Structure formats: C-alpha cells, structure tokens
Amino acid sequence: MGIFENMRKPKGKLGNIQLKSMNKEHTPVALWNLMHLDIKSDDIILDVGCGGGININRMASKAKKVYGVDYSIESVKLSREVNEEYVSKGKVEVLEGNVLSLPFDDDKFDIVTAFETVYFWPDIEKAFGEVKRVLKPGGIFLIGMESNGSDNLPMKISQKLIDMTVYNDEELTQFLENNGYGEITVYLRDAKNKEEIVKSNGEVKRIADDYNHRAFTDKLVEWMTIVAKK
Ligand SMILES: C[S@@+](CC[C@H](N)C(=O)[O-])C[C@H]1O[C@@H](n2cnc3c(N)ncnc32)[C@H](O)[C@@H]1O
C-alpha cells in the first residue's frame, strides 16, 4: 500500500506513521475548524474518520464524552492510544465502523465532526443522511476541509494520485440541503488576503482574519469549515 492510499484508509506500519504525521500536519486547519464550534461541557460528540485521534483529544477536554469512528483498524488503534487517559476514564470511546452504517442509535449526539475525511466517503449523500440519523434534533454537523474544490495545484495532484473527490462549498451545501439540514454556514479562509468569507442564508460577508497558525498549503488553498443543523 502506497503513501497516498494510506490517507484514504491507513494500513500497517506506514499507515501508523502517516496517521501520526496527519495529527501534526492537520493541526493548523483543524484548530481553525474548531474555532467555529461551540462545545459545551455536557455535549456528546462523534468524530467520524477520526484518523490519529488528535481531534478527539482536543474536543474531549471540553465535552462530556467523545466517540471516534473510523473504518481503518490502524486509525482506531492509534486514536485509542493517543486518548489512553480519557479512554481509561470512559470519557473517550473509539469504534471501527463505516460512515455509511454508523454503529450508534438514532438521536445520540449533540455534535458530529468530520475533519479531512469527506473526500473519501463513497456515497456522500447517503453518508450525510447517516450522520443526521445519529444527531439529536438540533444537533450540529461540522465538516472541516483543507480545500474548497479542486481548482488548486495541491488538490489537482492529490486527486490524480488517490481515489478521492475534492468537493467545493456549493456541492457540500447542496448535499446537506438534500438531506434536510438547516442553518448551513460556510466559512472559507482566504489566507492570501487575510480574510474569512462567511456564507449563510444567501448572504456573503468578508471579515478580517488574523489567524496565524501556518500550514504548508496555507497560501495555496482555501480552507473550509461548514456547520449545519439537524
Ligand atoms: C485523511 S485521514 C484524516 C484523519 C483525521 N480526521 C485528520 O483530520 O487528521 C481520513 C480518515 O478517514 C477515514 N475514512 C475514510 N473513509 C471512511 C469511511 N467511509 N468511514 C469511516 N472512516 C473513513 C480513513 O480511514 C482515515 O483515517
């Protein structure tokens, strides 16, 4: 299995190394994504496609309980390791599972997150419906992405090398609307102009953005966070 295939479904030793590297490399975009989420101390959260588990760790410091799910056993193992202390206290639980058939009851979570993973989901509309099934009424779905569409060099190259689809905000908004989500807000980070573009209710606003965590791709792609309500 090659380096690129390991991003879609990490496997074996190389998968483990890449997951650890993603925990580091995705930090700037993930912390920016998380700025758009209001986590309360009694929230029960699910992180889908949890990878190396670092975002579970970040959210568990604020929430009541965080679950992780990933269809790669390597991701499940490392997420448990990274969150060892929380797992031993019952505050974090990580399960093997596919987003198309989540191993949870209906209406269980206040928040479901998906960082850097929807590119790989096989039937995205069905997957968004499955996420909605496990959200409580009024629950929040957050999508975090390192890119808004594939019209930039890093994503053009990635799409050639891996079986992935780099959606833009309009496509993702449409999939969410088709599943009956409401109050959809899109946040795009325009790092070149140090601005954040906020789209909601048909309105577009530009606000100053002084966020200064830097990533390798920082100036090349537009980061995206989408927040939607069940
Ligand atoms: C690029 S990694 C991102 C990991 C982590 N969320 C992060 O931001 O670093 C994508 C992860 O999504 C998982 N994944 C992809 N498709 C999935 C699916 N259909 N169901 C569950 N997990 C999936 C992969 O196994 C991998 O761990």
Map out the domains of the chain with their CATH numbers.
Answer: 5-229 (3.40.50.150)
Span from the CA of 202 to the centroid of ligand 1 (angstroms):
31
Pocket test for ligand 1, best of 14, 29, 120, 164 (most atoms within 8 A of CB): 120
The three-state secondary structure class of 223 is strand
Give the type of residue at 113: T
Q: Which atom of ligand 1 is nearest to the CA of 97?
A: 21
Pocket of ligand 1 (CB under 6 A): 7, 9-10, 22, 26, 30, 49-52, 70-72, 75, 98-99, 115-117, 120-121
Pocket test for ligand 1, best of 116, 117, 159 (most atoms within 8 A of CB): 117
**DSSP run (H or E) holding 143:** strand 135-145
First to last CA, the chain: 38
Span from the CA of 32 to the centroid of ligand 1 (angstroms):
19
* 91 pLDDT above the threshold of 90: yes
Reported as a single tens digit per residue, the pLDDT across 144-153 is 999 898 777 8
Choose among 101, 142, 82: nearest CA to 118: 142
* 161 pLDDT above the threshold of 90: no
Q: Is residue 113 within 8 Å of residue 69, measured between CB atoms?
A: no
Question: Could you give the maximum distance between any two Cα atoms of the chain, in Å?
Answer: 47
Pocket test for ligand 1, best of 1, 70, 74 (most atoms within 8 A of CB): 70
d(CA 47, CA 94): 9
Span from the CA of 207 to the centroid of ligand 1 (angstroms):
31
* 132 pLDDT above the threshold of 60: yes
The secondary structure of residue 117, as a DSSP letter, is -
* 1 pLDDT above the threshold of 70: no
The three-state secondary structure class of 26 is coil
* 59 pLDDT above the threshold of 90: yes
| Average pLDDT rounded to a whole number, residues 134-149 | 95
* 218 pLDDT above the threshold of 90: no
Query: Hey, what are 144's tokens?
Result: 């975090």
Dihedrals φ, ψ of 5, to 5°?
-60, -30
The predicted structure's pLDDT at residue 152: 79
Span from the CA of 19 to the centroid of ligand 1 (angstroms):
10
The predicted structure's pLDDT at residue 31: 96
d(CA 207, CA 210): 10
pTM listed for this prediction: 0.95
Q: Is residue 172 within 8 Å of residue 226, measured between CB atoms?
A: yes
* 154 pLDDT above the threshold of 90: no
List alpha helices for the chain, DSSP H: 5-8, 12-25, 27-34, 54-60, 73-82, 84-88, 124-134, 153-161, 169-178
Between the CA atoms of 10, 22, 174 and 219, what dihedral angle is there, to the nearest 10 degrees?
Answer: -140
Residue nearest to atom 24 of ligand 1 (CA): 9
Q: Is residue 171 within 8 Å of residue 186, measured between CB atoms?
A: no
